[in-house]
Structure 1
Amino acid sequence: MVVAKAAKAGGSKITNVFPEQLKSYNIEYKEADVFIYTKTIGERKEKMMKADAFVALPGGIGTLDEVMSAIIAKQLGVHKKPIILVNTDGFWQPLLETFKSMLKENTLKPEHLNLFTLIDSPEQLAQALSAEQGGFLDVNTRWWEK
């Protein structure tokens, strides 16, 4: 919701794709411009693939599931959209360490590390999205070489 609120404040149109099975949790972003309700989380992820970009802030298991779905879809050529992980306070470091281990074990190809961009803070988000669309990114996106 942090990204949605900031985008809304900046004048962006927000679409909320929300599974009906989560309505009772009262976690829905109610300030969206468009609401699309799905029957299941799987259907939500299908709709999510229509987004212009994927941005992941620190989150829970659902966020991890969505991040991996976006990365896999990009790996398979389903989309070529930006995937940006906002590594606030090193949140994504354990996942990155897992990827490094996968590289060492030859279960992950080095080029797959280019499927997403890692940034350190939400403040770098606009710059990162611009870079993914052909602009200039002044952050070290080659995190695996650090």
Structure 2
Amino acid sequence: MPTRICVFCGSSQGTDPAFTEAARQMGQALAQQEIGLVYGGGSIGLMGTLADAALEAGGEVTGIIPEALSSAEVAHGQLSALQVVPDMHIRKARMASLADGFIALPGGIGTFEELFEVWTWAQLGYHSKPIALLNVAGFYDPLLEFLNHTLNQGFIRPGCRDLLQVHTEIETLLAQLLPAALAASPNLASNKI
């Protein structure tokens, strides 16, 4: 089974063209390194850009989309595999079970929720898969400032904070993430998701 990385990102493009370019470059980079992409299954926004770039570069792309969102997010019809599932809970669990690691690009509430859920699962020991943010054009700076505040206030332990990698360059992110992803196969007993 090939190594697969789950990428969380927006169903909108956002206001900065750098977000779209980062999604395009991420899709290309994963395909070029023969890393399968798992994502939310949409054809619009950063999700669509990411998937299209990976497909154009010859990559394997698996989309997971809930029935209720298959129209709203315009389910991508050209993927290697598209799974339509009953709800968001199953979507997130399925994406997590298929992936060997996680990356968050810019996005909104759904992206945040997906990121924080897999990070929480890592904190609780449900998996040992690596998690990273690609901080495009400073998008995540305010969140990182808040996370540091939360750490300083005693609500996040330093070890938990260290579970979330933060990078500004795709090459550096993948160089750090992929070795850990290879070591954290979903088939390992320690990975319960």
TM-score (normalised: structure 1): 0.81
Equivalence for 2:152: 104
Matched, 1:12 2:44: no
Residues 119 and 128 of structure 1 are in contact (CA less than 8 Å); yes or no, is this contact kept in structure 2?
A: no
Q: Deviations over 1:33-92 (max 9, x none)?
A: 111111111111111211121111000110000000110011111111121111001111
| TM-fit CA distance, 1:96 | 0.9
Residue 102 of structure 2 is aligned with which of 48, 54, 67? 54
| TM-fit CA distance, 1:95 | 1.4
Amino acid at match of 1:104: N
| TM-fit CA distance, 1:123 | 4.4
Q: How does 1:25-40 map to 2 (within 5 A)?
A: 25-40=72-87
Q: Deviations over 1:103-139 (max 9, x none)?
A: 11111101111112111033444323334347xxxxx
**For the residues of structure 2 that align with 1:47 and 1:15, how far apart are their CA atoms?**
11
Secondary structure class of the residue paired with 2:121? helix
Residue 80 of structure 1 is aligned with which of 128, 137, 144? 128
Amino acid at match of 1:4: A
Secondary structure class of the residue paired with 1:108? coil
CA distance 1:78–1:3, shift in 2 (3 Å): farther
Give aligned pairs, total.
Answer: 135
**For the residues of structure 1 that align with 2:115 and 2:142, how far apart are their CA atoms?**
14
Equivalence for 2:163: 115
Moved more, 113-122 or 70-79: 113-122
Unpaired runs of at least 5, structure 1: 135-146
**For the residues of structure 2 that align with 1:92 and 1:106, how far apart are their CA atoms?**
21
CA distance 1:110–1:116, shift in 2 (3 Å): same
Q: Identify which of structures 1 and 2 has the higher relative contact order when contacts are C-alpha pairs closer than 8 Å and 6+ apart.
A: 2
**For the residues of structure 2 that align with 1:107 and 1:128, how far apart are their CA atoms?**
26
Pairwise CA RMSD: 2.1
Moved more, 94-103 or 23-32: 23-32
Residues 151 and 161 of structure 2 are in contact (CA less than 8 Å); yes or no, is this contact kept in structure 1?
A: no
Secondary structure class of the residue paired with 1:24? coil
Amino acid at match of 1:85: L
Unpaired runs of at least 5, structure 2: 1-46, 183-193
The percent identity for this pair of structures is 34
Matched, 1:24 2:71: yes
